[in-house]
Amino acid sequence: MAFTIKVNGTTHSVDVDGDTPLLWVLRDVLGMTGTKFGCGMALCGACTVHIDGAPTRSCVTSIDSVGTSEITTIEAIGTTAAGAKIQKAWLDLEVVQCGYCQSGQIMSASALLASNPRPTDADIDGAMSGNICRCGTYIRIREAIKQAAQSSRQGG
Ligand code: FES
Ligand code: FES
């Protein structure tokens, strides 16, 4: 069945079963492999994308539920104000270790910063608790979100 979806500002027509997870449409049909598969059960956060700005687990989001919503992936998050600040802070603080979880981490962190420019530690923990990192980069992730929030306040 054909579905028309909007990803990173571009409209795509894809011909897949309606229950196909958005993750596999992004990776296998559209070739956007920045979004990762970890658990397939909404437990790890590796597959996080934004749907109308909300962090969403694409592994459990069927393509027929997306409709005309705006999908943003790691490939384009740097074009958003919050995403650019998060990516800069990630690089400044060398957050990444193996990298596998990190596109999902950045998508969740960007959504947090876009909706809450002054997150408290509890806000950060709440927003990031569904993103698992086997390398244990949690401390640097928290510091990077704080730095990005600080740069937002300074207009940087
Ligand atoms: S792959 Fe989607 S939450 Fe783990
Ligand atoms: S950086 Fe390796 S799993 Fe998070």
Q: What is the pLDDT of residue 151?
A: 85
- Choosing from 102, 131, 140 the residue with most ligand 2 atoms within 8 A of its CB, the one to mutate for a pocket test is 102
- Residue 37 CB–ligand 1 contact under 6 Å: yes
Q: Average pLDDT for consecutive 10-residue bins of the chain (156 residues)?
A: 97 98 98 98 98 98 97 98 98 98 98 97 97 98 98 69
Q: What is the pLDDT of residue 91?
A: 98
Of 109, 112, 104, 93, the closest CA to residue 133 belongs to 104
Q: Locate 133 and state its tokens.
A: 């990192």
- Residue 101 CB–ligand 2 contact under 6 Å: yes
Contact present, 102 and 95 (Cβ < 8 Å): yes
CA distances from 127 to 27, 64, 141 (A): 25, 26, 12
Contact present, 109 and 141 (Cβ < 8 Å): yes
- Residue 59 CB–ligand 1 contact under 6 Å: yes
Atom of ligand 2 nearest to the CA of 101: 4
Give one DSSP letter per residue of 83-111, joined into a string: HHHHHHHHHHTT--SS-TTHHHHHHHHHH
Q: What is the pLDDT of residue 156?
A: 55
Q: Locate 99 and state its tokens.
A: 């990298």
Q: What is the pLDDT of residue 152?
A: 72
CA of residue 21 to ligand 1 center, whole Å: 11
